[in-house]
Amino acid sequence: MTAVLSSFRSHFLKRPWILLCSVVFFCGLLIPRLSFLARKNLLNPTTVESDEFRSQPVSEELFPILASSDDPGRFLGLYWLETRFQADPHALRTCLTSLNHSDEPTAFSVKKYEPHWENLPDWNEYLKLCRAIWNDLRYFPVATSSDCPDYTVTFENSWQYERTYGGKRRHEGIDIMASVNQRGIYPIVSMTDGTIQNLGWLELGGYRIGILAPGGAYFYYAHLDSYAPLTEGQQVHAGDLLGYMGDTGYSKTEGTTGRFPVHLHLGIYLTVNGREVSVNSYPALRLTEQRKVNAVYE
Ligand SMILES: [Zn+2]
């Protein structure tokens, strides 16, 4: 064994360039390959059911890029796999730096990252679901009005916060709070085109409306005070009035109000292998918060 090691050592000492080439080869080719092999397992049939995917992590720097992208779902789908849902600090830094140094950030990154993933068997289904969440988004769900500039809203990332009505559970959406705590004055509009799938009372959601967007994601608007004249099965366009913000819900008795302040609860759901999976709607709201419909009060 000692003889083998010393022959190995002398071999490299006599020819240092061999050692140098080996190091260059290892760093340049093998490390990226090994790092990809380690990340490859991230993409599997249950990726979209993982807590990491469902939390939809989006770094602040990405919002302007997503806002100008034709295909934000594809961009984010790649970003999440490349950065391990933002848990890999080195990959995250590399990705964000590459965005800052490119004239065409979206095209550049997609071109760079997609070849890593597109031939894997679970890529197409994963991409379809990323696009379902992101590519149909058009408007923020609460309209503003220049007639009533005091009617503003605020929201924070309350995804998975604890809720206690009906037993301990996790918050599966985001609450958009009204600055004026008065039911029936804030117009709620559809964020996407789609078909009305559910309309009516739910114990938790009160008067709710559920819209299936063209890409297959289900957008759930809850606690409404009243509805626009709409029926189940009807098609809506992004920006169409759905009803008015309220405080209905948290009761088996239809029409109950006042159990919490006036707000809109917005949830986004996917159907994965026949199961309903909720995803964090906070980043989708952040993306659309600059795209508000202007309402006119008559
Ligand atoms: Zn809520």
pLDDT of residue 6: 63
pLDDT of residue 226: 98
What spacing in Å lies between the alpha carbon of 64 and ligand 1's midpoint? 27
Burial 19-46 (b: 16+ CB within 10 A, else e): eeeeeeeeeeeeeeeeeeeebeebbeee
pLDDT of residue 203: 96
What spacing in Å lies between the alpha carbon of 78 and ligand 1's midpoint? 29
What spacing in Å lies between the alpha carbon of 158 and ligand 1's midpoint? 8
pLDDT tens figures, 47-85: 999 999 999 999 999 999 999 999 999 999 999 999 999
* CATH architecture group of domain 153-288: Distorted Sandwich (2.70)
What spacing in Å lies between the alpha carbon of 128 and ligand 1's midpoint? 27
pLDDT of residue 120: 94
What spacing in Å lies between the alpha carbon of 274 and ligand 1's midpoint? 24
pLDDT of residue 111: 82
pLDDT of residue 105: 65
What spacing in Å lies between the alpha carbon of 160 and ligand 1's midpoint? 10
The 3-state secondary structure of the chain reads CHHHHHHHHHHHHHCHHHHHHHHHHHHHHHHHHHHHHHHHCCCCCCHHHCHHHHCCCCCHHHHHHHHHCCCHHHHHHHHHHHCCCCCCHHHHHHHHHHHHCCCCHHHHHHHHHHHHHCCCCCHHHHHHHHHHHHCCCCCCCECECCCCCCCCEEECCCCCCEECCCCCEECCCEEEEECCCCCCCCEEECCCCEEEEEEEEECCCEEEEEEECCCCCEEEEEEEEEECCCCCCCEECCCCEEEEEECECCCCCCCCECCCCCEEEEEEEEEECCEEEEECCHHHHHHHCCCCCECCCC
Domain parsing of the chain, residue ranges: 39-134, 153-288
What spacing in Å lies between the alpha carbon of 163 and ligand 1's midpoint? 9
Digitized pLDDT (tens) for each residue of the chain, 298 residues in all: 555 556 656 666 677 777 777 777 666 667 767 777 777 889 999 999 999 999 999 999 999 999 999 999 999 999 999 999 999 999 899 888 887 776 666 666 788 889 889 999 999 999 999 999 999 999 999 999 888 889 999 999 999 888 888 788 899 999 999 999 999 999 999 999 999 999 999 999 999 999 999 999 999 999 999 999 999 999 999 999 999 999 999 999 999 999 999 999 999 999 998 999 999 999 999 999 999 999 888 7
* Entry pTM: 0.88
């260059």: which residue's tokens? 24
What spacing in Å lies between the alpha carbon of 261 and ligand 1's midpoint? 11
